[in-house]
Chains A and B, each alone.
Chain A
Amino acid sequence: MRKLVILFTLICCFNNATFAGWPIGKGRTLLVPGYGTFFGNQYFDKDGKVKSFPYEGDYFKSYYLSFLFGHGVSRRLDFLVSIPYIVQQSKQAGKFIESRNFGDAMIGFAYSKENRNYTRFFTTQVSAIIPLYKNSYTILPVGFGANGIDVTFNYSQNPASFKTGGYWMLQTSYRHYFDVDGPDQFLARAALCLVYKRFNQIIFSVDGIHSESTNGSFDLNPKIVKNFDAVKAGIMLGRKIRRTVTLYVSGDYTFWGRNTLMGYGISANLTARLP
């Protein structure tokens, strides 16, 4: 029977929501509101060593509300738009600063191709990244403030050996920001979903990002660091609560990096596929 549609939200260091997976279904609509938070009070330096913030008690925290809208244009083609609203708080040298703003919107299309028996899917997604803010007026920017493009490839499979359902997935993305110093980003994800009693899921994931730029400066606001690496592991629990509505809660931890924050994130998402 049809697999559940999963939203994977990349927050904090990775920016924005991406969705690459199975098609939504022609004429059907996907709505995904989400809420998440990230906290970090340590960072990885340029050599990958863990360092504490310069002043005791300093931290970086962000909260976001996100909304993703998707619509099945055809059996294989989906239209997707995601918009985050981000609240960032930082305590640096004892001084508290906060910013609130819409983040980087992503608008694009995803095209999925299935195998003979609908057990394997290959999806290509191309999205435009459009900042909904201007950095010149912000003390704690929520992003690079530059337009960009994201190309994502996703391969997923429902193995027959997963008797109760479930799947595994590999995803890779290339992202370029049209600014004098980019960056160019390469993202990768591996995920394993296990299903319990049909309507319950547990998803294990590992995400990595490599961001390259001629701008190697470091900031305790991870949203504006252009040259960094990060790897995080996450776990997500999903439970179908209505016919077309599934609730997901997740936690993740950035356990390795370079020039980026170390910290943990928690999020909750509701996916509704209508009608």
Chain B
Amino acid sequence: MSLGWQIIHAQANHADSSADEGTVVIKLVPARSNSIFKRNKVRYTAKFFNKYNEEQEGKALFVVKTDKGKKIAQKQYAIKISPQGLRIVHPKFVVPSEGFYEVTLMLNLTSYDDTVKTVFGVRPQQINTPLHKPADFDEFWKAARKELKAVNPNYKVTYDEAQSTSTHKVYLVEMTSLNQARIHGWLTIPRIGGVYPILIGYPGYRAVLKPLFADEIITFQLNIRSGKTEEVEFPQSETEYLLYNIHDKKKYIYRGVYMDCIRAIDFFTDNQTFKYIFDLNRIAVYGGSQGGSLALVTSAMDSRVKACVIDNPVFCDMHNFVEIASSRKPYEFPMNKYKDYMSRTATYSYKSILETMDYYDPQNFAEKINCPVLLGLGLLDKLAPPATIFAAFNKLSNTCKKQSEYYCFYELGHEVTERHLKFHYLWMMEKLAHPMKEFDN
């Protein structure tokens, strides 16, 4: 789905050849500029710049593994580089199928040892994993939305003079969401008159959003429920947000969080004070990490959303995520939290956690999305492995996919480039210029 543009790299891996003396500078570059290949044959160019004043001799070993740690290929080269010289090799690999693979380069020379890792993808748009969607999934969320509708939002809008500027007005918006949780967000309105499209931002994990200033759109930065007023049942001492009531799908904190995201949209459609400046036919949502997942889920549940911008969405394809994350030791977030939870509670396993997560996995919502999606992701991301993200992205309907795009950044982890951040805005204004009409999935 990419435009075929040359993807701009955030930075070259390692330094360029002007690095300090007394080292070997390594450049490992895929044959495809975004490290996404169409065929199972993959090629790299590895350059070794010897900055020593003595010859370096040894070997370079390339090992290719799947994202679950299974070795599938390796190549070794004898390396001999003259002082201040350069050696280039072109390792080629054949992988069995579509997916994401990790290349590890281990360089052992006379005076220098190093390890470099990179990731490439093969036909990611063909990644197709099982859905694990419960039979009562739609009823579950229909009931949640019905509950939300019965909650009086009790909106309170307060002008914030301290954060307002000569060009923008900032308002604190407070409202009541599911289970009477009180949430808030920052509404920022340009002082110049006109009817404005709306951009709703959702937060990353444990992040607190501040006002966002834009010239041609009204922004709303939502801060979801804090969890401080949640009745955490089991264990009552739980302090990790993503584990609050994970034992019970109906009480899991994200049931309320997803409804918070819907409530933010309700604010705009319910509001009478600013109704003449809100363009309710042009609402976009965006977020990174957890915020990306929230934006994806909100787009699926609410047809008022006309464009969705997401970076590195987490908690996608959770079954596959657990397999991938389990292959990496020591465990990192959130696997370490799940592991700790299981050891403390003793009655819960990955299976029971996943039984709850199946109701919250963004991949299970994807087919219901009614708007274009812009996806950005770093291929080195361990928190949101690219295979899990594509598992969700590929489940968009065909109509949706035709208007959607993805951009991969092979040298980045849980982030995107500055260029891509700027591109968000251009893409969003383009899609909001002529919003997609609703269609039946």
Give A residues with C-beta under 8 Å from B: 1-2, 25-28, 72, 75, 116-118, 197-199, 240-245, 275
Query: Known contacts A1-B214, A25-B426; is A243 also within 8 Å of B192 by CB?
Result: yes
Q: State A245–B190 Cα separation when bound (angstroms).
A: 14
B430 at the interface (CB under 8 A from A): yes
B434 at the interface (CB under 8 A from A): yes
Q: Specify the chain B residue showing the minimal Cβ separation from A1.
A: B215
Q: State A28–B216 Cα separation when bound (angstroms).
A: 13
Q: How far, in Å, is B170 (CB) from chain A's closest CB?
A: 15
5 closest Cβ pairs, A-B complex: A243-B194, A27-B433, A242-B194, A198-B167, A26-B430
Instruction: Count CB-based A-B contacts (< 8 Å).
Output: 60
26 intermolecular pairs with C-beta atoms under 8 Å apart: A1-B214, A2-B215, A2-B216, A2-B425, A27-B430, A27-B433, A27-B434, A75-B430, A116-B8, A116-B419, A117-B419, A117-B422, A118-B422, A118-B423, A118-B426, A197-B166, A199-B167, A199-B192, A241-B193, A242-B192, A242-B193, A243-B192, A243-B193, A243-B216, A245-B194, A275-B433
B195 at the interface (CB under 8 A from A): yes
By a CB distance below 8 angstroms, the chain A residues around B354 are none
Q: State A26–B423 Cα separation when bound (angstroms).
A: 13
A75, B193: Cβ atoms under 8 Å?
Answer: no
Query: Known contacts A2-B216, A197-B166, A242-B192; is A28 also within 8 Å of B430 by CB?
Result: yes
By a CB distance below 8 angstroms, the chain A residues around B432 are 275
By a CB distance below 8 angstroms, the chain A residues around B136 are none
Q: List B residues 410-435 near A (Cβ within 8 Å).
A: 418-419, 422-423, 425-426, 429-430, 432-434
B341 at the interface (CB under 8 A from A): no
Q: State A198–B190 Cα separation when bound (angstroms).
A: 10
Q: How far, in Å, is A228 (CB) from chain B's closest CB?
A: 41
Q: State A199–B168 Cα separation when bound (angstroms).
A: 11
By a CB distance below 8 angstroms, the chain A residues around B422 are 117-118
Q: State A75–B8 Cα separation when bound (angstroms).
A: 17
B393 at the interface (CB under 8 A from A): no
Q: How far, in Å, is B86 (CB) from chain A's closest CB?
A: 26
Q: State A232–B166 Cα separation when bound (angstroms).
A: 35
Q: State A198–B167 Cα separation when bound (angstroms).
A: 7
Interface centre among A28, A118, A241, A243 (most CB of B within 10 A): A243
Q: State A199–B422 Cα separation when bound (angstroms).
A: 19
By a CB distance below 8 angstroms, the chain A residues around B430 are 25-28, 72, 75
Q: State A1–B215 Cα separation when bound (angstroms).
A: 7
Q: State A241–B192 Cα separation when bound (angstroms).
A: 6
Q: In the complex, which of the residues A2, A197, A244 contacts B167, with contact meaning CB atoms closer than 8 Å? A: A197
B192, A240: Cβ atoms under 8 Å?
Answer: yes
By a CB distance below 8 angstroms, the chain A residues around B120 are none
Q: State A199–B166 Cα separation when bound (angstroms).
A: 10
| A interface footprint on B166-197 (CB within 8 Å = 1, 0 otherwise) | 11000000000000000000000010111110
Q: Specify the chain B residue showing the minimal Cβ separation from A241.
A: B192
| A interface footprint on B253-297 (CB within 8 Å = 1, 0 otherwise) | 000000000000000000000000000001000000000000000
Q: State A188–B286 Cα separation when bound (angstroms).
A: 42
Q: State A72–B431 Cα separation when bound (angstroms).
A: 13
Q: How far, in Å, is A134 (CB) from chain B's closest CB?
A: 40
Q: How far, in Å, is A275 (CB) from chain B's closest CB?
A: 5
By a CB distance below 8 angstroms, the chain A residues around B8 are 116
Q: State A111–B193 Cα separation when bound (angstroms).
A: 31
Q: State A199–B194 Cα separation when bound (angstroms).
A: 14
Q: Specify the chain B residue showing the minimal Cβ separation from A4.
A: B215
